[in-house]
Amino acid sequence: MTDEFDTEIYYDDDANSAKIDDRTVAVLGYGSQGHAHAQNLADSGVDVVVGLRESSASRSAAEADGLRVATPADAAAEADVVSVLVPDTVQPAVYDDIEDGLEPGDTLQFAHGFNIHYGQIEPPEDVDVTMVAPKSPGHLVRRNYENDEGTPGLLAVYQDATGEAKSEALAYAKAIGCTRAGVVETTFREETETDLFGEQAVLCGGVTELIKTGYETLVDAGYSPEMAYFECLNEMKLIVDLMYEGGMREMWDSVSDTAEYGGLTQGPEIIDENVRQNMEETLEGVQNGEFAREWIVENQAGRPAYHQHKQRDIEHEIEDVGAELRDLFAWSEDEETADEETEQERVSADD
């Protein structure tokens, strides 16, 4: 462990592999996270069975990777640790299928706390409930493991019926390669609420709206769509990469003095107190469950608003301009291949 941060961070030496060596782990789902967890666990010597529907298109892939496959119900009944790695919207239905197979002392494990935190899944009191969440897409979790590298992750214990929940979760995290890089201890509430807020206010919702608004402002002022795209979207990756590698200071030190002065003075004018107030309201909606209830009802109704919003975003002019400009770059073919692989993982994740 390290004392450099307020939160606990665990590494390989903090994890006892024996806590999972004699356990059978059922990995439910074989999408982005599922395939990585299952293969890494198996390569670490853990007994793994993959839980997939009989009609699942991922069954052949899991079997080709040398893994045993059973239905989710049969896999859960056999296992001591059940890792639920299907999408949030699918989890309650899957849980209904596996609930009878859970025995006292078993572990129900997640990679995201949504359904536990918002009460969509209510586990029995005699099982451990934990979270091991790599902070990376599954294909990188797998690649890093194969390269003897690690992927940072999160660990949380919601329910400790056996007194061994944390030790077993650490052993699981080690088996998939997370403790090589460091595992940060959190709670189901903190992980869920910060994750949802970050997605909505900054990473997905905030950034995309900022980009589109900047693009529209330039185009409406008479500048070419191509220039607007380059300045408001294309160069975003360059800036984010700098911040990712060395924080905001690295970014400021790397751009021109003109860019730094303009950004430092005008940034707070754009992202002002009104934006902060809007963010606080978004956070409140996450904390009080308003967003969760809305999303649950949206799925029950067949996702009408979801599809409407998604279509509106697809039809934005910036997407057409970007598609044409990206063809100019040498990396476009590699990017297209990566997009296809990501879509395949998204489809198989529904299993």
- Residues catalogued as catalytic: 112
* Contact by Cβ (8 Å): 24, 67: no
Position 96, amino acid: D
What's the CA gap between 190 and 171, in Å, rounded? 22
DSSP states of 125-160 as a string? TTSEEEEEEESS-HHHHHHHHHTT----EEEEEEE-
Considering only CA atoms, which of 33, 73, 78, 35 is closest in space to residue 53?
A: 73
What's the CA gap between 38 and 70, in Å, rounded? 13
DSSP states of 26-66 as a string? EEE--SHHHHHHHHHHHHTT-EEEEE--TT-TTHHHHHHTT
What's the CA gap between 65 and 38, in Å, rounded? 10
Q: To which residue do tokens 């009989």 refer?
A: 54
